[in-house]
Homo-oligomer: A and B are copies of this chain.
Amino acid sequence: MSHSDIASEREITARAVNSFAHTPDARLRFLLQKLVGHLHNFASEVELGEAEWFQAIQFLTATGQKCDDVVRQEFILLSDVLGLSMLVDAIEHRNGAEATESTVFGPFYISGMPDREYGENMALIPGNASLITGCVRDITGKPLAGATLDVWQTAENGQYSGQDVTQPHGNLRGRYHTDEHGRYAIRSVVPVSYPIPTDGPVGQLLDATGRHPWRPAHLHFMLDAPGHKRLVTHVFNDDDPYIDSDAVFGVKDSLRVVYQPRGASDPLASQFDIGTDFHLASFDFVLDTTA
């Protein structure tokens, strides 16, 4: 490679960056100029070949074409498996050291799910019974009464209701509320690990790179309370075999809980009308104050 080759490649990058110099919106201008710089630096550093570039074009095209208007968003899935979604989540939620940590929202939330009573069972198909309880507090430790916990998880087949249309409406979904002591209680089934969809370009990427598609078992939470920042997070099963290799990098140590086995004669079983052996987990949330 000659000096003139390097100079002409740098000239192409400079021209491309400069082409966005008259973008009216200052933030868009900044984002695009930085994006073009990083994109070109990548191509230059790896000496990206035409055939490799064309493979990337075909991969991105197929990723866009795998998306539909309802449940499948392959570009979010791509962002997830590249760790970008978790990085953006971390950037968005800086400065909240005292609050419960956030994690990715994921593509499977549905709004407008049923309101649930304290301790109500959201598993409309019987399974491996669970109870998860705890408290929602502010950063000073004060319990928050009337906080909302919008919750969703997969069924034991690894699919969410909505995604799996054979499940009853609202199965393993619902909006719980804290009592006057800031406490919540959710009857459900123990979450299971499940693979992200692998029948598209992202699945091919994982396959070509020797990566598995599994997410460790978890329960999704979106918490809201007046005067407090919304918290989107998961609570992960501590003993899951994929807890250290989540395909989308969502696990944080502070979000791990142990589901402990309890017998059908446990006092909690009768309090919550469980009627079988079950697993009990406990997790407390802390919400940050609205800035």
A: which residues have CB within 8 A of B? Answer: 1-2, 4-5, 8-9, 12-13, 15-16, 19-20, 22-25, 28-32, 34-36, 38-50, 52-53, 57, 60-65, 67, 73, 75-76, 79, 81-92, 94-95, 97, 208-211, 249, 252
Contacts and interface: CB of A to CB of B under 8 A. Distances in A.
B15 A87 contact: no
A84 to B, nearest CB: 6
A49 B90 contact: no
A63 B9 CA distance: 26
A282 to B, nearest CB: 24
Contacts of A88: 43, 48-50, 53
> A interface, by DSSP: helix, strand, loop or mixed?
helix
A36 to B, nearest CB: 6
B57 A76 contact: yes
Contacts of A20: 209, 211
11 contacts: A2-B95, A5-B90, A13-B87, A19-B83, A19-B249, A31-B52, A53-B88, A60-B75, A61-B64, A64-B64, A64-B67
